[in-house]
Each structure stands twice: as structure tokens, then as C-alpha cells.
Structure 1
Amino acid sequence: MPLRSRLFTACLPLAAGVIALCLGGGAAGPARAAPAHAIAILGEPALPAGFDHLPYVDPDAPQGGVMRYGVYGTFDNLNPVIVKSALTTARGLWLDREFGNLVFEPLMQRSVDEPFTMYGLLAETVETDPDRSYVEFQLNPKAKFSDGEPVRPEDVLFTVDMLRQYGRPIYANWLRPAVKIEKVGEHGVRFTFDDTADRETPLLIAGLPVLPEHAFDRAQFGDTTLKPVIGSGPYVIADVQPGQRITYKKNPDYWGKDLPIKRGLDNYDEISIDYFRDANAQFEAFKKGLFYVYLEGNPRHWQTAYDFPAAGDGRVVKESFQTKTPVGMRAFVFNTRRKVFSDVQVRKALSLLFDFEWANANLYYGAYKRTESFFEGSELSSIGKPASDREKQLLAPYADELEPDVMAGTYHPAISDGSGSDRTLLREAVNELKAAGYDFKGRQMVGPDGAPLGFEIMVQTAEEERIASAYQRTLARIGVAVSIRQPDDATYQQRKQDFDYDMLLFTYYASLSPGVEQVGRWGSSSKDAPGSFNYAGVGDPGVDALIAKMVTATTREEFVDTVRAYDRLLISGHYVVPLFNIGEQWLARWSFIRHPDVTPITGYYLPAFWRDPKAQ
């Protein structure tokens, strides 16, 4: 493949060997392709040019009223893209899993009913070539920020510059292949990539926010702020009560309200998000109608807590939603940066002693299923499937890291007798630890250096403490000393960002199109990057190689085999103690909050909900 990293004389590099931002055209680039309304990771977009609306919205949804959400935690910042805000930014501003992009908007909007397809939003069209050596966006001439200023190519260039300097590590990964960015004509922006680009790169670039250059101070961009920020999205920030509440009001002059990609969305006049430091207080507020949607994930709570009057008389509705995507991996995460967890054999031994059967029966009414794969419940999972010839070829260089049952597809997490003290598993764990050089000294398990084997589990909520306590009791039976700490939320977030913990609980959400985001979770480059999601501290060349292969696959078959191979390598590494999943989504809502009849493959989609006008 020809070298694509040549910088043109019209470009001024910001840093040697990093990037060039160009305000004018340069020498001829790659051959042009036809501009399109959308771009898919593999194959063609599901919706044709000129589509009327997304299939999972009601294009005639009523408009108006107030939506109130309640979330657990706190916030101290309104700039969602900087490292300092990685875990304490206000919800809803940008790239929010539940609430969408209320203030900032991407060049293109992702469909939640396809594995990975982007449709035009700020960008009216997208253009790329079969090699995906470049991507060019033509901005919609009608696009405006909330203060009436137009969205310009210069704003895209500014955004890239700021993300490179101050953004979270994930954005640096997305932008790394872009060696030249230039303004093309009045409304165009072209990104030219080097040989490290892959099929996903143009879609990731399309998902970047566009920030207004005129509304930010370059010198202070990396600092947290509580001053309301300006974006191009459907809402503006109306009120900020730090750590307690943020209120958004719909912009009556929102530029994109008539776009097909926006029909049936952004249905409220006002959105308020209240923060709670206590989970019980959060639910009590929902019961009283202080906010209107409660996202449930606890079977015990789901079965026992909805005995209040509003749930009994139908004013509060409980609903289940089916999905067609991986359920995600909820797990205890070993911080392998810590000496105690640096040995995979120790991690394997400790993983044997989470008694799922006891916890499920005694804490959760038997409602959970044990999670086994990082892509549980989808074709991407390796569980129950022997490694294919392509997988074996991909994994051959890392054969020493792989467990035979994982390769054979027969691996399952340990199954106990449900007693909370399964002697067979206790004995197996002790034997694994002895093989790693550990042994009993009195009633304590001690290491080769004579130090007792013990660690701290950092938890965020009372429910996390509950399940950690169950794990703690079983580990104590073989002399492993475990303490549990629940710091205040600000301390928790800071320690999490700085990787200052032994073990914590985390959910790795998964999709049908895993890609470069895996670098931020498991890649070597993110291991020591503050604010990354590599909580386990993984730095494995095999993991890196499979992520690289994953994002360059050209067929669905090749992609599936690569992800399954990747799944096998992560499972064999015993970086986490898998917990459990429900297999569906649970949501409770006040009955005046309605939603479309169609559910996308990812499950409920809150931005498509609306408030019944009769209940305004």
C-alpha cells in the first residue's frame, strides 16, 4: 500500500510527525469516490439515501413537557472530552449511553439498530475509498451552534487539535492514523490516513464531536469548568447545580430538528438530571415521582421493591426489553499492576472462589445467569464453539497463554454446590496457589516472600459491597484476607482514574462491532494512560495483535473468527472474575412516559421516549 503520511506544503504541522491541519487545498490526494449519506463498518447501510426516519422511533411522537432523570454519583465539570472529566462530567452532554448527545453533536449519528453504521448529521455526506485511506465530510450548510454561529470546517480542525492535546485517550486512538486534515472547499473537511488506518477509522472520525472554536479558550481547554458550554445539539444548558442537578432546555432554533436522522427524537421541552449519593435515596425519589425512569439491574430489587402504591395502581409500569447484542461483562477486575495479581495462576485460583450458585440463590432469587464470555449471548462468543482453523492460526503465536478447554469451547467458570463452601473448589484453588508458590502459615495463605495473600475490593454502592462480601467470605476460608472499602464518590472516581486500587467491579459493555475501543480497555498503549478503561492493566502483545486484526477484517466471517479468538485470549488471561447477567433489560417508568413499539437491537432507547401530552 502506498505511503499516505506525506504532508503537503499548504499544511502547517502542529507537532513534528503528528498531524497537519490545513486551511487550503494541497496536492492531489487519493482518488475520489462518490459522496454517500451513510457509511457502514462492513457491507451497506440498512437505510437508503432519502430515508424518512429511523425504524425505532415514532416520527409523530408528541413534543413537549419535562423529563426528569435520576442518576447515581456526582459531577464537577461540563467539558466531557477532556481527561480530567473522564469520570466526573455531567451526564447528557455528549456520548451518553442513556441520554444521547444533548449539547454536542458528532459529524454523523450512529444507528442503534445496526452493528456499526453512521448516518449524516453535522456532515451532510461522507466520502471514502475501498482502502479507507481517507474520509471526507461535507458539512451541512444549515448546521449552527446554539448561539447562531455556523458550524465550519475550522471548528472541526479546532476540535481535533484540542482532542489531541487534552482529550481522553480514546480520542487519541481514534485520531492516531490521521496524518493530514484539510479544509476542502467552503464546507468540506478531509482526513488522510497513514497505513495504520483500518475499516473502522472513518466511522470513528465520523463519531467525533464538533466544538465551537469561538466559544472555547485554547489555553484553558484542558481545565474542568462549570460554565455552561455551547454546542450544536438540540438542547442548551439552562441551569447547573454542581454535583446535584443539571437542566437542559430545548433550543427552539435547533438547526437539525427536521432532519430524517432526528425525527421522533428530542421530544421534551426540558430535561433535568438529578444526582444521588445514595442508591436508596435515588429509588425513594423515583417512587415519589421526583424522576420518571428507573433503570433496574438488581433481580432482588426488581422482585421485591415495587410494592408501593403507584406501582400497584398502574401509575408506574415495569417493562422488560429483549436485545440482540452481547450482554456485556460485569466482573470483579484484577489490577494486574499490583504484584499480588501479576501471576495468572493466582488470578485463576482466586477466580474459582466466587460462588455464583450461592449468591444467585441467596441474594438474587435465582434470576441471574453466569457470564462466561466477553461477548456473551452473541455469535461473537467463543463459549461452546471449538476454535476454527482461522482462529487457531491467529492464536498460534500465543499458544502458551491459552487454556485447552478455552480452545476446545468447553470452558465454563467454576460451578459450585451452592453451599458457599464447596470443598472441591476450595481444594482446587489451594492447589493452584501452591503451584504458584503459596502455602498456609497457620490459617493464613502466604506467598513465596512470606507476605500474607490479601487485597482490597473497592466498591461504589451498597449493592456492590453486598456481592463483594459474599466473595470475601469464601476467600477467607482458604486464608485470603480481603477488605472492602466504599470511599466517597469523588475519591472513588479519582482512584479509579489513577488505577489506585487492587480490585473493583466494572461492566464492560459490548456490541456486535467491537473495534478500536478495545484498545482503551485492554491495549498496551492504554495500560498507563490516566482516564483509560484498561482497569486490569493489561499489556499483552497477543491482545494488541488481535485488536489490530479485528479492525482490519474485510468480511463478517473473518471478523467473527477474530473476535472469538480475542475472547479466548482474554478468558485465558483471567483478568476478571465474571459475575452474572439478566439476559434482558429492565426498566420502570411513570406511565405518562411513553416509547415506540419497535425496540432496536440494543434494547430500549431513551432519546426516543416522550411524555404523554395529556399528562403535561
Structure 2
Amino acid sequence: MHGAPRLPAEFAHMPYANPAAPKGGRVIWGLSGTFDSLNPLIVRGLAVQQMRGYVIESLMARGNDEAFTLYGLLAKTVETDDARTYVTFRLDPRARFSDGKPVTAEDVLFSWALLRDKGRPNHRQYYAKVAKAEAPDPLTVRFDLAGANDRELPLILGLMPILPRHAVDPATFEETTMTGPVGSGPYRVTAVRPGASVTLTRNPDYWGRDVPANRGLWNFDEVRLDFYREANGQFEAFKRGLYDFRVEHEPLRWHDGYDFPAARSGELIRDTIRPGVPQPSEFLVFNTRRPVFSDIRVRRALTLLFDFEWINKNYFFGLYGRKAGFFAGSELSAYERAPDDRERELLVPYAARMAPEIVDGSYRLPVTDGSGRDRTTLRTALALLSEAGYDLDGTVLRQRTTRTPLSFEILVTTRDQERIALAYQRDLKRAGVEATIRAVDPVQFDQRRLGYEFDMLQNRWDQSLSPGNEQSFYWGTEAADIPGTRNYMGAKDPAIDALIAAILEARERPAFVSAVRALDRVLMSGFYAIPLFNVPEQWIARWNRIERPSATALTGYLPETWWRKADQPQADPRN
């Protein structure tokens, strides 16, 4: 995206992969929730996301040790100009779909048009920027990007999933399906138990095994994805060895939940990985489409009432941190950082309506005494609520003119979310705010989240070191009214849109970093979500029958680089 690729043109393999990794065996994933579709490229249904990468490939592959660099996969070469007004991909003549048919330029054009017209909202948004697409010959595709003013677009197109024209019916593409897609990737879908599991089997004729970006990857003969609807049952299944690894998100469990024989004996391995990307951040999101959250003073007051210090001590064993903004722990974060001259220039049209302390970098999240009864933050929050027209009537906070209580619902789907919501409910009650908690199953939670049918819910945004077009999908004005985007808060702010455009137009890394920080400041000023905590580490537990490379990618753990220890038995643990 900026600068030059780290690896030379003739690189042998990715630095985080082991090219000598043995092939064979099975790996079993344990995933939470369920699924009703194998098509992850449409809005409808709960899809199995692993279809991307394992079954459906893109023109290019990410270099996971770099902010945003792509290397050849289906595309053998790529060409663009300095202004990035076009991009031309030349396909690898060896590339084949799993049914043996060659991948051609017509398949690329077909995929682009299909996803532009019928794909997920982010695909429609990205691919509609292409002015013209053509195939000069059967292995070459040229996209004209004139007028897009989007320097990221050639890379976005490089990550476009490529579908076989001969095996996809556009008329039924938007319908959910349990039929495994035909792709060019290393695996094929060989078994489906609806809602319960999907089995992927390595294609012995996979065309791309010797592509440098693939060496040392895709090492298992079989990948089985098992789904669990209930978190405790999922963990108990892991303890019994019914699946091979889990990514732990619960500090209490990581702290003292792994005290069982296999963990004590070394049969189970626990890895703590600190990635180099922005720390994943959890938030309680205000749905500003709801009148109760339309006033920023209300949102700011409710942010003050969240007692992180009490929760971190009692629930998280002090393992989490907390920062404002959406790029915590990286050079892209504006929190606790004064703006540079480039940022100030970008913010000139909008600074007057932003919180001054956020513009100048002096803003800090409230810090309580950790007692669960901090009076200082309570008084400050009540003063803000009074400015917004709310007064205490006994123990109930009411709107001054209508006498309507300040109340809302917090939507949760896991025990961990419910614990945080209950603690927050207690803090809100001290201010006279009535919060009810509604627990729903994962399917209903996802449906309501995607349709914006909630007052408040918990959500996590994972950011890269090269944010770009997806930021419009997260909080752009247009995305606020399109079901299925990640603009859950309903943000509609010209400043956000303008700064996302500045990010996409930046030619050099310093200007890019300044634009991202300016966006971070505007998002913080909107108080669209309450920062809950940041996750500085990845916690991975795996049975010792699964091995991984000694080198770790900048992005953290990558199961596609793992392999099975050769001397381990292959019996199916369900039998």
C-alpha cells in the first residue's frame, strides 16, 4: 500500500511459514455458534467464513508480516501506474478450479460483476468504483480506476474472491446454500452436517502448492469445523480433546480454567502471542438511530458510568488495558497523543464541533477508585445528564419535560457479555438509569446486530496497520442505512467520510498515519461507543499433537501454517 514490498520478487516462502512442514493428518476446529450457509459472500444467512482462503482464493495473498502488502496467488503478475488509475492482473496459467477447469480472465470479470451487483455491502461499495473492466486476452484482466481517487483499490481488487463462471448461477447466488462452492483453493467441501460441522479435504491436485506464498501452508489433509452453541459445553469438549485448539477470550478461564491433567502434564500447550497490529478493542455500542442515544451528552455521561477499574480487577485479573479510540497500541492511535501539523490541517473544518481535549490530545478516559461506587464520576455524569435535560426523581432519572425515564436494553449472547452488562447495569442504577439485559442465542444476536435492531450491544473491531476502504463499511454515512454493514452505531458525519477519503488518497506513510489519527479523533469525539477493554495478547491453547512454526506473523496466530505431529494417532475423537 505504501513503500515497497519487504520480500524480493523471487522469495521462496513467507517468513512465518515452515516450508518443511509435514503434510497429512486432520485438524479439528471448535467454533461457537452455528451456520446455515456455505456462501460467505452474501448478506443472507450465517455463513462458514473459512470458505474464504481454504476453498475460494483471491488474485493475491496477504503478506502477514507487513501492514498491507500482497503477493502473487492466482495472479502471477500485477501492474499499475504511480497514480493507480488502473491495475492489470496476469493470471498464473497453472491455476485451476477444483473441478479441473482453468481459471480465466472471464472468471475474474464474472466474479467482479457478480459481487458488485449481488455481493456483501462492502463488495458492492468497493467494486462499484471500477470505471471499466476488460480482458485483453484469456489470462489478463485490466481494471480502469479513473476517477476513483482510491489508492487502495488495486489491492482491494487483488483480494477479490474468484468464482468459476461455469459453476455459479447468478439467479440463485444470493440464496443460502449447503452445497460446497467450487473454488481454486487447497480444499474442497466433502461433508456437511447442517448447523453442526463442515469437513474440508485437501485437493490432491491443488494447482498452487508450489506458489511461494503457499509454501508451508495448508498442511492438513483434512480440516473439520465443529460448531458449538454453548460456551461452557464448547470448553468441556476441548478438555476432552474433541477439537485441537481454541482461541481463549475469557481472562478468568485463561487465569485458572486450565488446571486439568492434560494441561499440567504438557499434553496441552498454552501460547501467549503479542501481535504487532492494533490491539483488538471491545466496546458497548450506542445505536444512535434510537432517540435515547441521539444526544452526545447522554452518550458521554453513560461512558463515564462504566467502571473499568472494578471490572478489570474482579473479572479480568488485571490482564486487560483500556484506551479510547479504535487503533489502540499502535502508531495509528490518536489517544494520548497531540496532533501533528498534518492532522491539524485535516481537522480545521471540523475542530470547532469536536471536544477540544480530544483535538489537542489531552482527553483521558475516566479512572475510578475501583470500588464500584466512585462518586466523582457519578457527579460528573449526572451534571452532563442534567445539561441534556434529565433530573433525578427519587431513584429514577427522568426527562425534564416529558418525565420519561432514561432506559434502554443491552443485548447480549454470551455469559461473558452478560457479566459485563450486569456490572454496568449496577453502575447505571446508581445514576437512576434503567438498563434491562436481554440474552439471546447467537443466531438471533447476529440477526438483530446486522439489522440494527438493538439499543446497545457489545462489539469488537479488529483493525490492521493499513486501514482503508473497510472504514467506510465500519462508520461511513452511506453504510449507516444499509443492513449488514459494521456501522452498528449509525454514525453519519461528513468529517468521518472526508477523513476516510484522505486515508485512501495518502501516497506516503506519514500522511497516511496523520489521516488515520485524525479519523480516530473524530470517532472519539462522537462518543459512539463505550471502550470496555483492549486485548494486548492472543491466548491460544492447543493439544501437543498440533505444532506451529517458531516464527510468528505480525498479525499473530495463523492456523494455516500449523501441522500435525507425525507420531500422533488419527482416530476421530467422536468415535
Q: Decide: shared fold, TM above 0.5.
A: yes
Q: Aligned to 1:145, what secondary structure does the other structure show?
A: coil
2:573 aligns to what? none
> How far 1:50 moved relative to its partner?
1.3
> How far 1:582 moved relative to its partner?
3.4
From 49, 60, 64, give the equivalent of 1:91. 49
2:450 aligns to what? 497
Moved more, 58-67 or 319-328: 319-328
Q: Any residues of structure 2 matched to 1:44-123 within 5 Å, and which?
A: 44-85=4-45, 88-94=46-52, 101-123=53-75
Q: Aligned to 2:171, what secondary structure does the other structure show?
A: helix
String of CA shifts for 1:120-179, please: whole Å, max 9, x gaps.
101111010001000010111111100001111111111112112211111122212201
Query: 8 Å contact 2:280–2:536 — kept in the other structure?
Result: no
Q: Aligned to 1:310, what secondary structure does the other structure show?
A: helix
Q: Distance in 2 between matches of 1:80 and 1:383?
A: 35
String of CA shifts for 1:66-119, please: whole Å, max 9, x gaps.
00000111100011101214xx1013101xxxxxx1000000001111000011
Query: 8 Å contact 1:177–1:197 — kept in the other structure?
Result: no
Letter in 2 for 1:521: Y
Q: Distance in 1 between matches of 2:9 and 2:541?
A: 36
From 360, 365, 369, give the equivalent of 1:413. 365
Query: 8 Å contact 1:83–1:166 — kept in the other structure?
Result: no
1:274 aligns to what? 226
Query: 8 Å contact 2:273–2:539 — kept in the other structure?
Result: yes
Whether 1:351 and 2:351 are equivalent positions in the alignment is no
> How far 1:372 moved relative to its partner?
2.2
Q: Distance in 1 between matches of 2:173 and 2:549?
A: 39
Q: Distance in 2 between matches of 1:539 and 1:124?
A: 41
String of CA shifts for 1:460-515, please: whole Å, max 9, x gaps.
21111011111111001111110111112221111111100001111110111011
> How far 1:573 moved relative to its partner?
0.6
From 398, 410, 431, give the equivalent of 2:350. 398
> How far 1:353 moved relative to its partner?
0.7
Query: 8 Å contact 1:401–1:573 — kept in the other structure?
Result: no
Q: Distance in 2 between matches of 1:297 and 1:278?
A: 14
1:602 aligns to what? 555
Q: Distance in 1 between matches of 2:286 and 2:146?
A: 35
Q: Distance in 2 between matches of 1:271 and 1:614?
A: 18
From 278, 285, 289, give the equivalent of 2:241. 289
Query: 8 Å contact 1:115–1:512 — kept in the other structure?
Result: yes
Letter in 2 for 1:93: M
> How far 1:305 moved relative to its partner?
0.4
Query: 8 Å contact 1:401–1:569 — kept in the other structure?
Result: no
> How far 1:389 moved relative to its partner?
1.7
Query: 8 Å contact 1:198–1:551 — kept in the other structure?
Result: yes
From 518, 525, 532, give the equivalent of 1:579. 532
Query: 8 Å contact 2:325–2:523 — kept in the other structure?
Result: no
Q: Any residues of structure 2 matched to 1:154-165 within 5 Å, and which?
A: 154-165=106-117
> How far 1:191 moved relative to its partner?
0.5
From 377, 384, 387, give the equivalent of 2:336. 384
Q: TM-score scaled by structure 2? A: 0.97
Query: 8 Å contact 2:118–2:124 — kept in the other structure?
Result: no
From 522, 529, 534, give the equivalent of 2:475. 522
> How far 1:347 moved relative to its partner?
0.3
Q: Distance in 1 between matches of 2:253 and 2:322?
A: 19
> How far 1:186 moved relative to its partner?
2.2
Q: Any residues of structure 2 matched to 1:159-558 within 5 Å, and which?
A: 159-447=111-399, 448-558=401-511
Q: Distance in 1 between matches of 2:553 and 2:28?
A: 23
String of CA shifts for 1:377-431, please: whole Å, max 9, x gaps.
1111112221112111111111133212212222221100111111111111010
Letter in 2 for 1:615: Q
- The alignment covers a number of residue pairs equal to 568
Spell out structure 1 runs of 4+ moving beyond 6 A. none
From 75, 82, 86, give the equivalent of 1:134. 86
Q: Distance in 2 between matches of 1:174 and 1:59?
A: 34
Q: Distance in 2 between matches of 1:167 and 1:530?
A: 13
Query: 8 Å contact 1:80–1:93 — kept in the other structure?
Result: yes
Letter in 2 for 1:53: H
> How far 1:601 moved relative to its partner?
1.0
Query: 8 Å contact 1:91–1:273 — kept in the other structure?
Result: no
Q: Aligned to 1:579, what secondary structure does the other structure show?
A: strand
1:10 aligns to what? none
Moved more, 443-452 or 158-167: 443-452
Unaligned runs of 5+ in 2: 570-575
Q: Aligned to 1:394, what secondary structure does the other structure show?
A: helix
Letter in 2 for 1:421: R
Q: Distance in 2 between matches of 1:91 and 1:408?
A: 41
Query: 8 Å contact 1:121–1:261 — kept in the other structure?
Result: yes
> How far 1:196 moved relative to its partner?
2.0
Q: Aligned to 1:354, what secondary structure does the other structure show?
A: coil
Q: Any residues of structure 2 matched to 1:34-45 within 5 Å, and which?
A: 41-45=1-5
Unaligned runs of 5+ in 1: 1-40, 95-100
Measured on the aligned residues, the alpha-carbon RMSD in Å equals: 1.0
Query: 8 Å contact 2:279–2:536 — kept in the other structure?
Result: yes
Moved more, 535-544 or 573-582: 573-582
Cα–Cα, structure 1 residues 201 and 77, in superposed 2: closer, same or farther, change >3 Å?
same
Letter in 1 for 2:370: G
Letter in 1 for 2:541: A
Moved more, 248-257 or 293-302: 293-302
Moved more, 159-168 or 48-57: 159-168
Between the aligned residues of both structures, percent identity stands at 48
Query: 8 Å contact 1:77–1:225 — kept in the other structure?
Result: yes
Moved more, 60-69 or 380-389: 380-389
Moved more, 348-357 or 445-454: 445-454
